[in-house]
Amino acid sequence: MARKGLSAWRFIVAFGVVSLLMDFVYEGARSITGPLLAALGASGAVVGIVTGVGEAAAFGLRLVSGPLADRTQRFWTWTILGYVVTAVAVPFLGLAGALWVASALVIAERVGKAVRSPAKDTLVSHATAVTGRGKGFAVHEAMDQVGAVVGPLTVAGILAVTGDNYAPALGVLAIPGAAAIALLLWLRARVPDPARYEPPAGDAAVPDEFGRLPRAFWVYAAFTAATMSGFATFGVLSFHLVRENLLPVAAVPVVYAAAMGVDALAALATGWLYDRTGAKTLAVLPLLAAATPLLAFARTAWIAVAGALLWGAAVGVQESTLRATVADLVPVGRRATAYGVFAGIMGAATLVGGALTGVLYDVSVPVLVTTVIAIQAVALALLVITRVRSGSSRSVA
């Protein structure tokens, strides 16, 4: 353990509480991004592009923050800074009176995630060396999603009481944001060097010529890029719910909260399964992503809601098991860099997915569904190739 009295599991749980509080903040905001932008005059394409750019920023900028975290070894500093950016940006989103201001704040919140995530994932990965990669990341993600359920429900309640007034609904999120920062500072003081949880690797993976990361990592990243490029953002899903008058605005965060509950269950299930069977568990991801638009863009409310729940299950796999696999593929000294590069690839693919589904939604829902299914078929094929090329490695087989 890194310090007497705080075991690896306790560290993961404490960090999970930090993430729970911050998910309360930014998932509460994300649950109404589509309706908020629509209220300011955005089209489906604009919602798709803005949310896609936001996700691309959340992932793509980690190409910078990941290597910098490895180089400076200031993992706590990067983590705290990123959380502060998000905690400040979200409350101001409710005060935005122009589409460009709201769009900028949506992206700024995602930038905060980019700043912190490689460093945060590295800190957590040290403890998962003791608890099991899949289980450790799954428990952390499940705790995230408690906040991801409570935040949207809180926003929904305030919207219902105030007649869809976004300012108080988002302003209240400053409270859990401040609590998250305070707890994070306490945890840093208690465990200043989480790397001590993880014993030195006896035979670290051999780096290759591409950024000194293992070749298997790049093949795995190609699979991830393919599946994410055919994945819609919740902004587009929620835009559909409101535009087709399937649900009132105040009900959209409730649907998002339910999706986050499914996210937590999917993370726990696939995380435990990953520790038993390896990354073949990830075959479920393109299947979920392909099924989502079949339901989510229906014109019947309960079918569209079911599609949103499938979307949540896919996100649960993305946020837990995808990250666990990276930790198994890459040695400690390059792990923050790997998380940064991996996230950058995911970000570019997410931008494609958000923009593509947003634009195709304005053109034709059947074309959107057909395109997504085709992309996920390619992703599934890449996962099979990953298994073949990885040989006997349990991490990607």
pLDDT, one tens digit per residue, over 74-110 is: 999 999 999 999 998 998 888 887 888 888 898 999 8
Q: How far is CA 355 from CA 339, 352, 358, 360, in A?
A: 24, 5, 5, 8
Neighbour count for residue 72 (Cβ, 10 Å): 12
Looking at residue 101, what is its pLDDT?
87
Domains of the chain (ranges plus CATH)?
8-190+207-396 (1.20.1250.20)
Say if residue 284 is exposed, middle or buried (CB neighbours under 10 Å; 0-12, 13-18, 19+). middle
- Two tokens at 35? 């309706």
Give the C-alpha separation, 150 to 80, whole Å. 22
Q: How far is CA 168 from CA 93, 158, 239, 311, 346, in A?
A: 10, 7, 21, 28, 33
Looking at residue 83, what is its pLDDT?
94
For residues 199 and 8, is the Cβ–Cβ distance under 8 A? Answer: no
For residues 229 and 356, is the Cβ–Cβ distance under 8 A? Answer: yes
Neighbour count for residue 370 (Cβ, 10 Å): 13
For residues 193 and 73, is the Cβ–Cβ distance under 8 A? Answer: no
Please state, rounded to an integer, the average pLDDT across all residues of the chain.
Answer: 83
Could you say which residues of the chain have pLDDT below 70? 1-5, 200-212, 333, 386-397
Question: Hey, which residues does 6 pair with through a beta bridge?
Answer: 3
Segment 45-83, tens digit of pLDDT? 787 788 778 877 777 787 788 888 888 889 999 999 999
